[in-house]
Every structure is written in C-alpha cells, then in structure tokens.
Amino acid sequence: MLTLATPLAQIRGIGPSVLSKLKNLEIFTVGDLLWHFPFRYEDFSKVYNIAELEPGQQATIKGIVENVSVRRAWQRKMYVTEAIISDDTGSIRAVWFNQPYLKNILVTGRHANFAGKVSFSDDQEIYLSHPTFEMIQNEEEGTRHTGRLVPIYPETRGVTSKMLRTYIQQILLGLKRPAEWIPEDILETLSLPEIKSALQGAHFPEHIDDAYLAKRRFAFEDLFLLQIWNLSQKLKLAEQKAPALATDIEWLKSNLTELPFELTQTQKRSLWEIVKDIGEERPMNRLLQGDVGSGKTVIAALSALIAHKNGYVTAFMAPTEVLAKQHFETLKKLFKNVDHADQPAVALLTGSEAKIFYENDLESDTTKSALTQKIKKGEVGIVIGTHALISEKTSASFGGKGLGLVIIDEQHRFGVKQRAKLADPKRGFIPHFLSMSATPIPRTVMLTIFGDLDVSVISELPAGRKKIITEIVPPEKRPSTYKLIREKIKEGRQAFVVCPRIDPSEEEPAAAREKTRKKIELKSVKEEYEKLSKTIFPDLKVAMLHGQMKPKEKEQIMKDFHSGKTQILVSTSVIEVGVDVPNAAIMMIEGSDRFGLAQLYQLRGRIGRGEHESFCLLLTDSENEETHARLKAITEAQNGFELAERDLQLRGPGQFMGEEQTGFPDIAMQSLQNVELVKSSREAAAKVLTADRSLATHPLLAEKLDEFIKKIHAE
C-alpha cells in the first residue's frame, strides 16, 4: 500500500514529464501531493436535466455524446470544438476553444457528465462554455470532476486541477491509513476529524461542512505544533542560568531625571518589566514593541546602563551598519546626561568602522584589533554593531564579568541553539535578551509566531510630536505634490521619494500584485531619479539609494542627506527601518498600493521626527475601490497596532507576514485571523507539555514536531 513517504515516481500514470512539472509546486511524494490543498470548490453537486438549465448557472448534466466537431475560427485564429449532448429532456451544445484533441476523447454514443457555466449566445441559445467533463464507466466508482463539490487547486504550467484530482483520488484509494499524531483527547475535545477522514474531506468532501472541518484540522495541527515549540522553548530557556542584574531604584530614578525628556507611562511600564526580568537568574526573552519614534532605544540604553552598573557588557545589534551607527550616536547623546561615574564606554564595531566613546565625552577612531582588545579587557561597557557581533567565539571575548545583555533591533526570534553559542563555559551563564521592533504585529500573530517571547508595548508617542498629514494622491494631483515638495524645500526641509522597485526591468513581487486590477506601470528608483533630477527639480540636489549599492556608497548618501547636502532622496523601502533625519518633512510614496499598511506606516515614521509640520503623500494610479479603502485606513488609524490588525484583515497573513520568508504553511497562515483557533491550539499545547514535558509518551507527536521545525527553519 501507499504511504505518505512514497515517491510519486512509483505511482502509476505519473510519468517523468508530469513529475518535472510537479517539482515547480514542490511536490515530490504522496504526502506532498495530499497536503497540496484546494483553495476553493466548484459546486457541481446538483445534476440538472438539460431542460432545466438557465443562463448563469453552474451546473452538471448527465447525457450522451451525440456528435463532436472541430472547426477553425479564422477571424480569431483558433479552433472551436463543439459537442451535442442529450438526455431524455433535450439537448445542448458544449463549446471549447483551442482544444481540438477533445474530438478524439469525446466518443460519440458514450455517457458522460459535463459541468460548467450555462451561457447565452448571441442568437439566444443556451450552451455550456468550456465545461469539465467526465466519461462515466462505472457508476459505483463515483465522480471526480462533476456531480459533486469539485476541488480547485493551485496549478502550474502543464498541471491542471483535473490532473491533480485524478492523481489524488487514485492515491487516497490505495493509501495506508496514516498514523494519527494528534492526541485523541484533543481531537475529541475540539471535534476535529482524524487524519484520513480529514484528507478525504479536504479533497473530496461530500458536503461543504466536511471541507471546513478538514481545513480546521489542518490549520489547527500547524498552529498546535508551533505552540508546542514556542512553549517548550520557553521552558528550556527558563532552565538556563543568566546573571541577576540588580537595579538600585533610587539610582535609576536619579538618572531618569537627567534625561532631556520625561518618559511616557508605557515607557516607564516597559522599563519596569525589563528591570524585573533581568533581576532574575533565568534569561529574559522579551520583545519591546513600539511605534516609530516612541522611544524604544532609550529604554534599551537604560537596560544596558543597568547591566554596566552590575559589571556586565551589553552587545547591541542592528540589522545594518547605518542603523548601528545611528544607535551609537543616540547612545552618545543619552549618556552625556549620565553621571560620569556610571557612564559606560560605548564602542561601534562594524565591517567598516571601529570607534569608541569614553566617559569624558571624547570619541576616537581606533582599529578593530585594538578595539577588540579593549573589549576583552573589560574597558567597554556597550558594543554596538551588526549581527556579526554574535558568533560562536564571541562570548569568550567580552571582558569584565562577561556578556550580560544582548539587545537586538528588528529581529524577533533568536533560537535556543543560537543562545547556547553565547553561553560562557567559564562563567556558566547566557545573557539576557531584549528584542526591539517598530513593526506593529497583531495580537494573534504575536501569540502564534512569537509565542516564546514576553512582550512590552510602548503605545504612546513622546509629547510634542506633531501629527503627520497623510493624503492619498491620484494621478491628476501629481503636479500639486511636486509643488508642495518645492515649497517645503524652499523653507529648508527635505523629502523622501520611495518607489516599489529599483530598476524598470525588475519583476514585481508576486505578493504586491492585485489580480483584479489592470496592469499599471510601476515606478522604479532609477527612472524616478532621472526624471526628478533632470526634469522636475533640476535646480535641487537629488540623490538615489537602493539595496544593490555598496555599503560605503549607501552610508555616504545617507550621511549627505542627514547633513542637508541632499534635498531629495529617491529610494526603495530600504529606508523603512531606523533612518532618522529630523529635517525630513515630506514622504512621497510612489505605487503606495504595492506596499502593506504596516510597511507604509514604517515609511511614514521616517518623517515627523522634528518640530516641523510633515506630509506623507500616498500616490496611486489604481482605481480599485478595495485599494483605496486599504490606503484610507492609514489616514485614519490611531496607532501602528490598530493598523496592523486592519492590514491582517485586508491582505491576509500570507502577505502581511510574507510566507516565503517565514516558511510557515499557507493554511496555518490564514488561520492566524481565527483568534479562537489560536487560543485553543495554545491551550492544547500547554495541556500536553504539562503532562509530558519531553513528549516521551507522544513519540509520533515528537517526530512530527521535529519535521515541522526543520520545515519552518525555526532555528
């Protein structure tokens, strides 16, 4: 009998040509094919008499093939295949275009089912347009393509839904019952079908409720596995030892009063949550979330100051060298207000730079080797750099009492195995971890994808920040946008112009396309740079920035923009994270409908960082009502978290999270919108782990979990 591991090459009827095409869908085994689920169903379950048919129906008829003909439609340069189908109540014509081979398949005199849309011709005759058909050989075998709920699958060139239905039905008939790995009591509690029934219900449901139940089961199993993984990681981390970083509250309050601003209530709450965590001997694993400009960095800096006060080093990691340098500059300013006795030496260590800022307010360039030696000797309290700071050899290279705190910007997940590499064998502990993110993440996504993290949220903006004026700009108002940019630059401000792609020849990402919309030419950075610098603003200083440039070139461009030498910066969304130019007051986003709402929110956060009135202009050529409704959400949302929930609803989790990046299964991604299912999967995972921490009594579940983690690259 067939098993889920059986290669498709062993299945009768699936030859080398089809196998090579199935590879495009990443389908290699029986299991891969059975987990290639339908995305919708055509309801051809009701069989009509021909005399009952009406225009516009989706219908199945059962009849005899009376005649088949093929003719060439010369004006349209195509073949037209026509068949006359009859039953006891009448006859009807069926029409197919460019499928002349059907004449050899539709045998005159044979019984067949035909399922499709009933259309109305110009001469007032009803006919079946391009129907699916199925020759009836044995009534007891049932049908695949007609007379039932018919599954429609994601396809590829040369592999149709009809082919997939044929293969899947054949496989299900010969499949050995797969081992059920979800505990029976959980299936019973949640009324979920066992695995074989669920596969049958997903691919060939008798009723639509069977399909819903099957989808629920498969969505649950992926959520359940991830929740078990998250909770087990949390439990494993709790067993590790970390340095207890004590906080003198009066000392901390004294330093807070030295800051040039007062912390907001949610900043204070987040800081207190961190203080409590790092005071324990188990490692902190916390995510600090907050809107752009909400003051996450100051909370991270204060946490690093506490670590320094306790004699430990902090590694502060950023995703880019530009952002690392920006954090270095921010910490320099903050620590100027700290008592020199408490002030740590702050170092910048990247691929291109090595700098150190001392307690006496002096900054000096140095060599990487010299700086590394200072770090080893314990002369540096905070080391800022990219993720290259963390390597297997790094943990032993920190002096003083060792590495006590790791701060990671815009990287939510840091695996247990990665943490283990930072364990100092001499000292016997791993550091505390604090992740920071300005990307607003909906609650269900946070509970599921990042369920191993504790979360602190800064939900307010600092006092004095002006609201950014956000407008949707149609094509006819483009000239007024250019006029506004010129006016603001005349006042001394600067502007960002963001485009969806770098080059005109660059293919548009699939996630950005809207199938319901007409083809619209996308703006590119290179084209817009040429147009703006030579035609629209030839008298202004315009620069270009994108991800294909060399790091030093990008750094110089940002340096010139930050200093005011450049007035307009044309860029991709590479400026989305961490770029801080207080004088920038205009954000013009070309093809704004091609970005997610959370991404647009991030881009908008690059402006309004100074005291000047700022404008975010969302340019779109789309006339699609849904597109405009989505863009309108960003003009109305009160904060990033509200907007993220809206984006999740409008675009779905696949595009919100980017399943290509997460590796998370499609069916589970869609279920992140189902709060109840997320909650029940978490409760079920907690129930299993409470009774069986190592999954020793659930070997099939343990095996499935291992396969799942490899698939989503969690480590």
Whether 362 has a pLDDT exceeding 70, the answer reads: no
For residues 45 and 59, what is the distance between their CA atoms, to the nearest angstrom?
8
Burial 364-379 (b: 16+ CB within 10 A, else e): eebeeeebbebbeebb
Among 583, 611, 638, residue at a domain's last position: 638
Confidence class of residue 663 from pLDDT cuts 50, 70 and 90? Answer: very low
Q: Percent helix, strand and coil across the chain, each rounded to 5?
A: 40, 20, 35
Report residue 84's pLDDT band, with 50, 70 and 90 as the boundaries. very high
Among 167-171, 420-424, 547-551, where is mean pLDDT lowest?
A: 420-424
Please tell me whether residues 162 and 35 are part of one structural domain: yes
The pairs formed by 551-558 with CB atoms below 8 angstroms and a separation of 24 or more are: 551/321, 551/351, 551/352, 552/352, 554/322, 555/321, 555/322, 555/325, 555/352, 558/322
Q: What's the confidence (pLDDT) of residue 624?
A: 83
The verdict on residue 643 lying in a domain is no
DSSP string, 445-503: HHHHHTTTSEEEEE--PPTTPPPPEEEEE-GGGHHHHHHHHHHHHHTT-EEEEE-SBSS
For residue 10 the two structure tokens come to 């062993």
**CA neighbours within 13 Å on the CB side: how many for 642?**
9
Q: Which two tokens stand for residue 368?
A: 């990487």
Residue 707 has pLDDT above 70, yes or no: yes
Same domain flag for 198 and 131 = no
- Say whether pLDDT at 510 is over 50: no
The answer to whether residues 191 and 301 belong to one domain is no
Least confident of 402-416, 663-677, 687-701: 663-677
For the segment 528-555, the average pLDDT, to the nearest whole number, is: 89
Backbone angles phi, psi at 469, to 5 degrees: -75, 120
The pLDDT of residue 650 is 64
Give the residue among 127, 146, 161, 133 at the shortest CA–CA distance from 46.
146
pLDDT at 414: 58
Q: Which two tokens stand for residue 237?
A: 């981390």
Query: Would 323 be classed as within a structural domain?
Result: yes
Computed over every residue of the chain, the mean pLDDT equals 83
Amino acid identity at 610? G
Count Cβ neighbours within 10 Å for each residue of 622-638 and write b for 16 or more, e otherwise: beeeebeebbebbeebe
Contact 458, 295 (CB under 8 A): yes
Is the same domain home to 447 and 300? Answer: yes
Q: What pLDDT band is residue 65 in, cutting at 50, 70 and 90?
A: very high
DSSP-based three-state secondary structure for 402: coil
Cβ count near 178 (within 10 Å): 17
- 47: confidence class by pLDDT, cuts 50, 70, 90: confident
Is pLDDT above 90 for 413?
no
Residue 431 counted as domain residue: yes
SS3 619: strand
Nearest Cα residue to 399 out of 451, 336, 347, 332:
347
CATH code: domain of residue 128: 2.40.50.140
For range 658-678, the mean pLDDT: 56
Q: Is pLDDT of 687 > 60? A: yes
Q: How confident is the model at residue 143 (pLDDT cuts 50, 70, 90)?
A: confident
pLDDT tens-digit readout, 3-30: 999 999 999 889 999 999 999 888 999 9
Task: Out of 588, 621, 638, pick the residue that ends a domain.
Answer: 638
Whether residue 603 contacts residue 530, with contact meaning beta carbons closer than 8 Å, is answered with: no
Q: CA triplet 109, 110, 113: central angle to 5 degrees? A: 130
- For residue 107, the model assigns a pLDDT of 85
- Asked whether 455 and 446 are in contact (CB, 8 A), the reply is yes
**Total of domains in the chain:** 5
Give the domain-ending residue among 424, 458, 492. 458
The predicted pLDDT at position 559 comes to: 85
Q: Is residue 394 part of a domain?
A: yes
Grouping H, G, I as helix, E, B as strand and the rest as coil, residue 429 is strand
Per-residue pLDDT band at 506 (split at 50, 70, 90)? low
CA distance 199 to 176: 12
Q: Are residue 616 and residue 682 in the same domain, yes or no?
A: no
pLDDT(198) > 90? yes
Residue 416: pLDDT band (50, 70, 90) is: low
Instruction: Kindly state the average pLDDT of the residues 326-345.
Output: 80
Nearest Cα neighbor of 109 from 83, 128, 82 is 83
Q: Are residues 322 and 385 in the same domain?
A: yes
Q: Which three-class secondary structure state does DSSP give residue 536?
A: helix
For the segment 476-498, the average pLDDT, to the nearest whole number, is 93
Q: Are residues 278 and 372 in the same domain?
A: yes
Looking at the structure, tell me whether residues 139 and 167 fall in a common domain.
no
Return the pLDDT at 660: 36
CATH number of the domain enclosing 605? 3.40.50.300
**More confident call, 149 vs 537:** 537
Answer yes or no: is pLDDT of 658 > 50: no
CA distance 504 to 499: 11
Q: Give the per-residue pLDDT at 715.
A: 44
Four-residue CA torsion sign, 552, 555, 557, 560: negative
510 three-state secondary structure: helix
- Name the least confident of 91-105, 215-229, 332-346, 385-399: 385-399
Backbone torsions φ then ψ of 381, nearest 5 degrees:
-90, -35
Asked if residue 513 is part of any domain, the answer here is: yes
35 and 52 belong to one structural domain = no
**Same domain assignment for residues 279 and 192:** no
Asked if residues 28 and 22 have their Cβ atoms less than 8 Å apart, the reply is yes
Q: Residues 303, 333: contact at Cβ < 8 Å?
A: no
**Above 90 in pLDDT, residue 359?**
no
Do 360 and 488 belong together in one domain?
no
Average pLDDT over residues 53-60: 88
| One-letter amino acid for residue 161 of the chain | S
Examine residue 418 and state whether it is found in any structural domain, yes or no. yes
Q: Tell me the pLDDT tens digit for each residue of 274-326.
A: 999 999 999 998 989 887 778 889 999 999 999 999 999 999 988 777 788 88
* Percent of all residues in the chain with a pLDDT value above 90, rounded to a whole number: 36
pLDDT in tens, 89-139: 999 999 998 888 888 888 898 888 899 889 988 778 899 988 988 887 655
Q: Which domain holds residue 557?
A: 469-638
- The CATH number covering residue 167 comes to 1.10.150
Q: CB within 8 A of 354, min separation 6: which ones?
A: 347, 348, 365, 366, 367, 368, 370, 371
Are residues 394 and 262 part of one domain? yes
In a domain, 321, yes or no: yes
714 has a pLDDT exceeding 60: no
Token pair for residue 205? 């449901």
- DSSP H helices, 416-464, are 416-421, 443-449
| Cα torsion 267, 268, 269, 270: sign | positive
Q: DSSP secondary structure string, 342-384?
A: TPPPEEEE-SS-EEEE-TTS-EEE--HHHHHHHHHTT--SEEE
- Three-class DSSP category at 626: helix
Dihedral sign (CA 361, 367, 371, 373): negative
C-alpha distances out from residue 27 to 23, 195, 504, 659, Å: 5, 19, 33, 17
In sign, the C-alpha dihedral spanning 234, 239, 245, 249 is positive
Beta carbons within 8 Å of 610's beta carbon, 6+ residues apart: 582, 583, 585
Whether the CB-CB separation of 382 and 347 falls below 8 Å is answered with yes
Least confident of 170-174, 558-562, 599-603: 599-603
Residue 479 has what pLDDT? 93
At residue 150 the predicted structure's pLDDT band, cuts being 50, 70 and 90, is: confident
Report the greatest alpha carbon distance in the chain.
100
Please check whether residue 283 lies inside any domain of the structure.
Answer: yes
3-state secondary structure of 654: helix
